[in-house]
Amino acid sequence: MTARLIGFAWCSLFLAASAAGAAPAQLLGIKLQDSSNDPSITHMRIVIDHDTVKPGRITLLAENQSKTLVHEVLIARAPGAGELPFDAKTNRVIEKRVHSLGEISDLAPGKTGKLTINLRAGTYVLFCNQPGHYKDGMIAKLIVAR
């Protein structure tokens, strides 16, 4: 009986320590915008509420503020000094050549979506890959640093 109580106590301490060590995901708010929701916007854009987050679990919460267009958000490691690989025929980023870490796909006007991922330190890009949207400015840089 005593061994059982000691085992139970150790198990309880272990679970409590594990739960205490599990940090909640950081929230990154993302607004997908174009001229349909604000006529002063001359190019489509992705607006993020933080340009730097800490490594670990990040929840991307995207809101398509457009009144007329479908948007999406893909996240990938930044390509360094260059641009993402682009296919002029389809007017889209070549997704097979980009190591996408996740996607919130095809958000209808006014809709929201979310994605939780683990990110290491580094530089990432968030972009919309609907035809023409990336080249029109729907890209944002995210830095993950301690």
**What residue segments make up the domains of the chain, in order of their start?**
24-144
- Supply φ then ψ for residue 66, to 5 degrees: -65, 150
Residue 41 has pLDDT above 90, yes or no: yes
Overall pTM surpassing 0.85 (yes/no): no
User: What is the predicted pLDDT for the residue at 79?
Assistant: 86
Encode pLDDT of 43-96 as tens digits.
999 999 999 999 999 999 999 999 999 999 999 999 887 889 999 999 999 999
Q: How many Å apart are CA 102 and CA 122, to the nearest integer?
A: 16
pLDDT tens figures, 82-139:
889 999 999 999 999 998 999 999 999 999 999 999 999 999 999 999 999 999 999 9
Q: How far apart are CA 25 and CA 55, in angstroms?
A: 10
Tell whether domain 24-144 is in CATH 2.60.40.420. Answer: yes
Mean pLDDT, rounded, for 18-36? 83
Are the CB atoms for 94 and 86 separated by under 8 Å? Answer: yes
pLDDT at residue 19, as a whole number:
46
